[in-house]
Structure 1
């Protein structure tokens, strides 16, 4: 993604560290990109333009994943756990509209795919829509279309790549480095333009 650069070295290091932490914990990881947008057509909480909104999204999404894992363990005591790891970047478009780009990393033994957009069927997309609605303090119907999964968003990465298998780690890092570019980040407004999970 040299054409999107220049990049911020500290952000690239944080991205690399986050991916490595996921692979240290889980032998198989699914990583996917998602964009969270704000609509011009609806009112938002007063802090929607601060990073509190992305913090609320992450906390809500993590709670939904933990709830799902608890339900899975009720059915199968050996069901895999899943810690949510993430990297996010806050950007402004040319029109000044704020939005977030995220990379989410999960245990692939617990979740294999993001799923498809299907009403009334709980999956990763519906969990993200519910979490974004919670973050914006609105109804899920109001965020339809504001949670966007880009094309070719999923990457399956293994700690140890077996002979004959494709290692997607380099592709993942290349794609996610987009979050680390200096362009379109806002500076001087008192809010960070980049964040990631800790530990």
Structure 2
């Protein structure tokens, strides 16, 4: 598939490039070019960690976008807005008062191609006993994200991270849920440590975050990370 296969990223020789369509027996996406093996390692470790701790893990992938009307701002020059989103989301999960608790585990990537602003991809991993669905995406009858479902909680967290109120009617669905390329359906997965098929699908979805293309490497900031094991 690739005529020229450099082994290292030209902007950071600590990053190893990966070209195969499987990784430790799991399917990965290489349609958009090579992946970064360091990031694949972190992704698989996080998936294994979540499934070793939770009997069943609820997994899904989202994209955090800034509003189109927002100009380039200092918040786009580092990842503090993402840190705020994760902090607000932890608060939202805690206040949900589910019967079972969950830790927020995640994998994230910062990407930017032709836009003046970056965007973020995340895979979220939660205890399935606490959350097992995203709920309705659309805002309520007042154009607010006030519902108790998981999607509305993520929207509130992202709006607050950017400094907006959750009832600001200008912004709709800035949290985009990723779809399965084959089925075209919004993707969520229930992972179990002994279920190879669900893990294979999750690793395939996570590998999208590991692609070298569109990563703003060399700009003095992290472009990929995962929650602490």
What's the TM-score, normalizing by structure 2? Answer: 0.76
**Structure 2 unaligned residues grouped into runs of 5+:** 1-28, 141-145, 180-185
Deviations 1:72-97 (A, max 9, x none): 3xxxxxx2110010001000032343
Partner of 1:129: 155
Contact (CA 8 Å) 2:106, 2:125: kept in 1 or not?
yes
Work out whether 1:176 is the aligned partner of 2:206: yes
Q: 2:78 aligns with which of 46, 50, 58?
A: 50
**Distance (Å, rounded) in 2 between the aligned partners of 1:131 and 1:150:** 18
Q: Distance in 2 between matches of 1:47 and 1:121?
A: 28
| Partners of 1:11 and 1:185 in 2: CA distance | 12
Aligned residues: 187
- Specify which structure has the bigger relative contact order, considering alpha-carbon pairs within 8 angstroms and separated by 6 or more residues: 1
The answer to whether the Cα contact below 8 Å between 1:45 and 1:137 also exists between their aligned partners in 2 is no
**Structure whose CA Rg is larger:** 2
SS in 1 for 2:76: coil
Q: Supply the distance in 1 between the matched residues of 2:90 and 2:72 (Cα, whole angstroms).
A: 22
Q: Give 1:42 deviation, angstroms.
A: 2.9
**CA deviation profile, 1:15-64 (whole Å, cap 9, x unmatched):** 01111111111010010010000123135763233100111111111111
Question: Which 4+ runs in 1 deviate beyond 6 A?
Answer: none
Aligned to 2:128: 108
1:103 to 1:198, Cα distance in 2 relative to 1, 3 A = same
Q: Tell me if the contact between 2:107 and 2:122 (Cα under 8 Å) persists in the aligned partners.
A: yes
C-alpha distance in structure 1 between counterparts of 2:77 and 2:62, whole Å: 18
TM-score (norm. length: structure 1): 0.87
Between Structure 1 and Structure 2, which shows a larger proportion of helix residues? Answer: 1
Unaligned runs of 5+ in 1: 73-78
